[in-house]
């Protein structure tokens, strides 16, 4: 199994629909992150979580929500998708401060029509 698994890998949806992107990890890391990648803008932080009770907004959290269902699972929701949320989304995990491990999922490409 991959260290960090994202589902779905590709999704096309319509404006106004609710979308959930799921992430699970096998690394046992406490820290999990959702990033968004746009051409010319690079990666930007949406939300991050230190544990199931600790959720924090990142740079671009408006229009998104997250849930940390367990140490290994961190999902990102778009309650009402809009076209400018079309992007490549990455989940990542980190052991920050221990061995400096950082692992990314393969990405979820979302298109909002």
Partner 1 sequence: KNEVEQSPQNLTAQEGEFITINCSYSVGISALHWLQQHPGGGIVSLFMLSSGKKKHGRLIATINIQEKHSSLHITASHPRDSAVYICAVRLTGGADGLTFGKGTHLIIQP
Residues that bind partner 1 (CB under 8 A): 31, 33, 35, 40-45, 48, 50, 56, 58-59, 88, 90, 92, 96, 100-104, 106-107, 109
Pick the closer one to partner 1 by CB: 20 or 45.
45
Pick the closer one to partner 1 by CB: 3 or 77.
3
Q: How far is CA 54 from the centre of its chain?
A: 15
19/3 Cα distance (integer angstroms):
23
Cβ-based burial of 112 (10 A; exposed 0-12, middle 13-18, buried ≥19): buried
Residue 96 Cβ, how far from partner 1 at the closest point, in Å?
A: 7
Residue 23 Cβ, how far from partner 1 at the closest point, in Å?
A: 14
9/7 Cα distance (integer angstroms):
5
Residue 55 Cβ, how far from partner 1 at the closest point, in Å?
A: 12
């Amino acid at each position: 199994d991959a260290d960090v698994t994202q589902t779905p890998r590709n999704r096309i949806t319509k404006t106004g629909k609710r979308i959930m992107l799921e992430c699970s990890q096998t690394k046992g890391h406490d820290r999990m992150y959702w990033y968004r990648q746009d051409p010319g803008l690079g990666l930007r932080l949406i939300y991050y979580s230190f544990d199931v009770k600790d959720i924090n907004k990142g740079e671009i959290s408006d229009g998104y929500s997250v849930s940390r269902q367990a140490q290994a699972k961190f999902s990102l929701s778009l309650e009402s998708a809009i076209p400018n949320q079309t992007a490549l989304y990455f989940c990542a995990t980190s052991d920050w401060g221990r061995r400096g491990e950082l692992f990314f999922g393969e990405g979820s490409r979302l298109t909002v029509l």
